A = this chain, B = another copy of it.
Amino acid sequence: MADIEVDYCVVGAGFAGLTAALRLKQAGQSVALVEARDRIGGRTSTEVREDGSWIDRGGAWIGPGQDRIYALMDEFGVKSYKQYTDGEAMMVVDGKQYRYKGTIPLTMSPWAAANLGAVFVELGEMCKTIPLDAPWEAKKAAKWDSISLAKWLGDNTLSTPAHDLLETAIAGCYTSAASEVSMLFVLYQMASGGGPSFVLGVKDAAEDARPVGGMGAVYRPMAAEIGDALHLSQPVRDIAQDGDGVTVRSADLAVRARRAIVAVPLAIASQIVYEPLLPMDRSFLHQRMPSGAVMKIAVLYDEPFWRAAGLSGQSAAPDSPATITIDASTDTGRPGVLCVIVEGPIARKLGTLQEGERRKAVLAELTARFGNKAASPVDYIEQNWSIERYSGGGMLSHAPTGVLTQFGRALRKPCGRVHWAGTESSAVMCGWVDGAIRSGERAAREVTERDGVLSPARAQ
């Protein structure tokens, strides 16, 4: 049993935990960063290939308003490049392909397009009424938290194609069925990113750009600066706190610190044993914010051949084994990468297939959508977040009905010497990497302020 004594112990080396540890170290504090996996990055994971290109197996995109990840990239000299958005996107509804530009496929029936547009406007207006710091205090919080996204969409989207597209797109953000997610949570999460156009858009929105080198180009230098304070392959089993400090234990590591910052998804935080028990509402919150199902598949070609055909690579097809595609090529465009994202119920269904069957189904869809060249990729890389032990699923923990109004107040509130980070605890950009970074900086400020030590210099 190794014993380490530090000022602060951070649990989880995703972006939230890495940021908290980094900011604390920069403020002159000693830290231990304890990670269950044998790698850093959490719900991001960048694979660097032999040719120097990279695949982001998890979170990958950044956009305007995400100032804290841009600041971090500046700090480490990581450049960004714009998402490829030239050419047309594609919707596939009932087997029929509709090409379009912008966020709303106006080439669909006027009725469907008008319906989609109206729902966007309505969602935007609803988002404006949500206080980001306290969504449970929104005027209609009780009403919206009593219904699921499925119910709201059913009542407000009368065109079937518009309904199905919106359901795929919005529920997909929570990697869940629309019936699983509280409408209040949807509005809160959308509002935390600036509204529906940001969440569901690409250009000038949530998928506007990417770090050159992928997310790994950002998290690797962070880890380098944290140095040997990082302890991999140490799943934390229990956190005990007393009047003087906390003891964080894995099977073969015990860290004693003034305070702990737990920076993992809610469902993972629930698997840690806390001594004494956490306050009731935090324990209950841990039981109530599940992760969803998501599979991300990178299909590699010598070049992004779809571009020559006037296609952006972006497509959406509800209920298809390639529900969403997006051009995920590097800044050089070599290789050409089509990223297939499958979420919620279809991801669960697809996850039960044999790998060969799944590949066949996905490539058939891509071929129907992008032509014969799609049938012969040079590589095919799958990442099924649903079966990652230390994610518990993907992408962000969502709140079912009733949870935000009843337990939302516990999201950020420290429990004695145990503090909380993770993108779900961020009022701004909740669910994105940027939100994770914000939560790490907030938690670092929180612990140093409580202890009366200097606030981390770079955490404004």
Contacts and interface: CB of A to CB of B under 8 A. Distances in A.
A2 to B, nearest CB: 19
A180 B401 CA distance: 5
B267 A287 contact: yes
A177 B402 contact: yes
State the number of copies, please: 2
- Most B-side CB within 10 Å, residue of A148, A178, A182, A348: A148
Interface stretch (A7-15, A16-24, A42-50, A278-286): A278-286
B284 A406 contact: no
Nearest to A184: B179
A148 B146 contact: yes
A190 interface: no
Contacts of A402: 148, 150, 176-181, 400
A233 to B, nearest CB: 15
B146 A389 contact: no
A245 interface: no
B271 A401 contact: no
Contact of A288 (B147, B178, B281, B290): B290
Given A176-B406, A271-B273, A284-B290, 9 more contacts: A146-B179, A147-B147, A179-B405, A180-B406, A267-B287, A270-B287, A280-B293, A281-B348, A287-B393
Interface of A: 142, 145-148, 150-151, 154, 176-182, 237, 267, 270-271, 273, 277, 280-281, 283-284, 287-288, 290-291, 293, 345, 348, 351-352, 386-387, 389, 392-393, 400-403, 405-406
